[in-house]
Structure 1
Amino acid sequence: MNVFKLPDLGEGLQEAEIVEWHVKAGDEVAADQPLVSVETAKAIVDIPSPQAGRIAKLYGNKGDIVHLGAALVSFEGEGGAADTGTVVGRVETSENVVREAAPPSFASPTGARVGSVAVKATPAVRALARKLDIDLTMVMPTGPDGVVTSNDIERTAKVLAELGPPEPLRGVRRAMAQNMAQAQSEVAAATVIDDADIDAWAPGADISIRLIRALVAGCRAEPGLNSWFDGRTARRRVLAKIDVGIAVDLPDGLFVPVLRDVAHRDAADLRAGLDRMRADVKARKIPPEEMRGNTITLSNFGMIAGKYAAPIVVPPTVAILGAGRVHHAVVACDGKPAVHAVLPLSLTFDHRVVTGGEAARFLAAVMEDLESAG
């Protein structure tokens, strides 16, 4: 048999969940005919057949998580577990198809384990936790010096039994958990907040476009915030082009598609790009290459609710600007109180590589741009 394995679906994507099979064992297929739809952390992708032939076996069922290089389909006829027909790139041989629940800690894209929590417990208590299938990191310890007791395990098991079976994280939410765990593990995050007085704006001003323009002004004032940092080698790359990751909230989870080269695009082009990008994300048809490579991030969470936040910086970027809910507030105007429209801002930065002064100057430049009339 000739075995076709899960190909490389893009940089950093190590696994995919089977969404739907388009063929079954015994089917005759043509080259490039869709075999299976899989969901990655980036999008839903149709994987085509690498060859014409008869399907001998399908590896995995709907909902299974398949790792890079694991067998997907075997074809009748001579051949081995070679990489013939790999869609993009070459992968290593593996025959494992795994159904996984979300683990208590995750592997970063570099392979390091992040998000792990040290737990104090005796061997007998750990054995009881294994018997009852209890994750020790979820247990609130009541023993001396933070030691988990058998009563703690039994209490947690009772609560979880009442809640019902857990929902394993899949696709986008699984990737979000991995990325956030990595960020919390690696980044020395600090946040500065302030308000921009936007009362001079014309009615109907495009908040998203003004925020992107202001972010560009901040990067010009402090280029170091538009950079990538490799914590393993302590090397920083200050980037000339500004590619903004735009946080998009969907029921499936958080997506961060990238709006490219924003400093050299006019407002109409940026708006068209934003609309197209959001439509592609909602349809889950955005290309994987449009979901990576951002140099800085923008989160306009105020469109939903909230004034201030401490947004998460995801490596290798070093800064994220959050915009809160526009509201009216009493401000001092020529020594007298006045009611103006105010836009709250929260800038989180990686303090390993960005100083507090650089962050403050960046935010000041953002505010100056936002407070202008147009």
Structure 2
Amino acid sequence: MKAFTLPDLGEGLAESEIIEWHVNIGDVVTIDQVILTVETAKATVDVPAPYSGTIVSRHGQAGDIINIGSLLVEIDEQVTATSESNTASLNTTTLKTMPQVTASQSVSNAEVQSTSSKNNKNDAATVVGNVSQQSHNINIDEFWIGSDNHSNESNTDKPLITALPSARVLAQKMGINLANIQGSGPDGVILDGDVYQACDKQRPGTEMLKGARRSMAASMAKAHQQIAAVTITEEAILSRWSTNEDITTRLVQAIVAACQHEPALNAWFDPDTMTRCVHDRVNIGIAVDSQYGLYVPVLRHADEFNASGIRKWVDDTVAGIKARKIGREQLQHGTITLSNFGAIAGIYATPVVSPPQVAIVGAGRIIKKIRLNQDASIQQTNIQQATEVDVLPLSMTFDHRACTGGEAARFMKALVNHLEG
């Protein structure tokens, strides 16, 4: 019997959310067969089986948050006939050549074999393939419920609670009694996810942030602490736009043009080394709202896409997010971000810059405004005609540590000029 625990999925990520199990108890699996899909840091990862064999137990349900080292499955490993034959032959040879031993030595050997068997049973495997090969050991915190001043007789009547140290701290913060929780870990160990589930039952309406929402909470807190944010606003008059204009495509093309005109906003900033990296390629992160939370997939080399290519990329990416089939690599290496929040509601906003980027462009809802134009047909030059026009509100937040106000204003002007052209 082999135990398989959640391995390190990379980038120092300590926890994952179970999205879907692909195997059931009793199923026979082969090495590298995908057994479950997890999500971490807004990306989904398929976890393969490290052994061939039969699934004896499965731990955790879809939606559970699990930490590195948490037990996932136990597999009754298959042994081939050739291996059994070789083992039997080896045992026969060993018996023939083994010298006589004393009774005490036999007992010692038996103890060693028993210890080895026990260690093999608790062996924690890691994923093979494209993820980390590191093993992780979780220290289990065992303690008695009740006062240490009770006699030994009274303590024997108390239930023994086995829980991860992090689960105990979490339970104390949430006011959860561990004695009322049935652990889902190996041998009934209480995990963090068990505490969260108990909290959901105790406080209706309370939910644990998972997946994209959990990652968003961490990244927004980081941005609030690190960025010297300043927001500049402007309006683009869309009198030259056609009726069925693709707003997202036009915004992407306008950002590319503005980055080429004023590259200072298409950059990364490292406050620790006080260095700025201005990029010649434009990788635009496009904020996508979904029922699972906010995702920001990156359109790499956006300067090389035409209008139809941009639209196809957006459609394919949104479909992947809805199906929760988006990889971590699709969310990396953005150099500037676009948030088209006006597609839902809102005119102006203060978008949040995601470090190490230094700028984010927000587009609000298109509104109607009255514009005064000089009427060339009228002789008197002081007479103007009022016309109704569509206006696109724009808001751009930039990190004032890395960009000057002049650079931001020039970028915004180039953005507006391209949209109005």
User: TM (normalized to structure 2)?
Assistant: 0.68
Taking the TM superposition and a 5 Å limit, the aligned residue runs for 1:339-354 are: 339-354=388-403
Unaligned 5+ segments in structure 2 are 78-116, 140-162, 177-200, 375-383
Q: In the alignment, does 2:369 pair up with 1:326? A: no
CA contact (8 A) 2:48 2:128 kept: no
CA–CA distance in structure 1, aligned partners of residues 173 and 213 of structure 2: 26
1:9/1:311 CA distance change after superposition, 3 Å? same
Taking the TM superposition and a 5 Å limit, the aligned residue runs for 1:205-354 are: 205-334=245-374, 336-354=385-403
> What's the CA shift for 1:367?
0.3
> What's the CA shift for 1:5?
3.4
CA–CA distance in structure 2, aligned partners of residues 341 and 100 of structure 1: 55
Percent same amino acid at aligned positions?
Answer: 46
Amino acid at match of 1:276: D
CA contact (8 A) 2:230 2:400 kept: yes
1:306/1:98 CA distance change after superposition, 3 Å? farther
CA contact (8 A) 2:259 2:411 kept: yes
CA contact (8 A) 1:68 1:91 kept: no
> Counterpart in 1 of 2:136?
93
CA–CA distance in structure 2, aligned partners of residues 299 and 194 of structure 1: 15
Q: Supply the RMSD in Å over aligned alpha carbons.
A: 3.1
* 3-state SS of 1:172 partner: helix
CA contact (8 A) 1:4 1:85 kept: no
CA–CA distance in structure 2, aligned partners of residues 131 and 210 of structure 1: 48
> What's the CA shift for 1:301?
0.7
Amino acid at match of 2:317: M
* 3-state SS of 2:124 partner: coil
CA–CA distance in structure 1, aligned partners of residues 364 and 174 of structure 2: 47
Unaligned 5+ segments in structure 1 are 105-128, 134-160
CA–CA distance in structure 2, aligned partners of residues 208 and 289 of structure 1: 22
Q: Deviations over 1:41-61 (max 9, x none)?
A: 324443221221234554544
How many residues are matched?
Answer: 321
* 3-state SS of 1:317 partner: coil
Alignment equivalent of 2:411, drawn from 355, 362, 368: 362
> What's the CA shift for 1:169?
0.7
* 3-state SS of 1:195 partner: strand
CA contact (8 A) 1:243 1:261 kept: yes
CA contact (8 A) 2:44 2:328 kept: no
CA–CA distance in structure 2, aligned partners of residues 277 and 84 of structure 1: 27
CA–CA distance in structure 1, aligned partners of residues 354 and 126 of structure 2: 33
Taking the TM superposition and a 5 Å limit, the aligned residue runs for 1:1-40 are: 2-9=2-9, 11=11, 13-24=13-24, 27-40=27-40
> What's the CA shift for 1:303?
0.8
CA–CA distance in structure 1, aligned partners of residues 267 and 209 of structure 2: 31
1:60/1:211 CA distance change after superposition, 3 Å? same
CA–CA distance in structure 1, aligned partners of residues 13 and 268 of structure 2: 20
> What's the CA shift for 1:66?
2.0
User: Mean alpha-carbon deviation: is it higher for 287-296 or for 184-193?
Assistant: 287-296
CA contact (8 A) 1:8 1:88 kept: yes
User: TM (normalized to structure 1)?
Assistant: 0.76
CA–CA distance in structure 1, aligned partners of residues 125 and 239 of structure 2: 64
CA contact (8 A) 1:100 1:168 kept: no
1:306/1:15 CA distance change after superposition, 3 Å? same
CA–CA distance in structure 2, aligned partners of residues 131 and 230 of structure 1: 37
Structure exhibiting the larger radius of gyration computed from Cα positions: 2
CA contact (8 A) 1:25 1:58 kept: yes
* 3-state SS of 1:91 partner: coil
CA–CA distance in structure 2, aligned partners of residues 12 and 296 of structure 1: 24
* 3-state SS of 1:254 partner: strand
CA–CA distance in structure 2, aligned partners of residues 315 and 247 of structure 1: 15
CA–CA distance in structure 2, aligned partners of residues 45 and 219 of structure 1: 33
> What's the CA shift for 1:74?
4.0
Q: Deviations over 1:250-293 (max 9, x none)?
A: 12211111111111111111111111111111111122211222
Quick check: which one's helix share is greater? 2
> Counterpart in 2 of 1:72?
72
User: Mean alpha-carbon deviation: is it higher for 301-310 or for 269-278?
Assistant: 269-278
Q: Deviations over 1:84-111 (max 9, x none)?
A: 625412334133797999x99xxxxxxx
1:50/1:82 CA distance change after superposition, 3 Å? closer
CA contact (8 A) 1:31 1:50 kept: yes
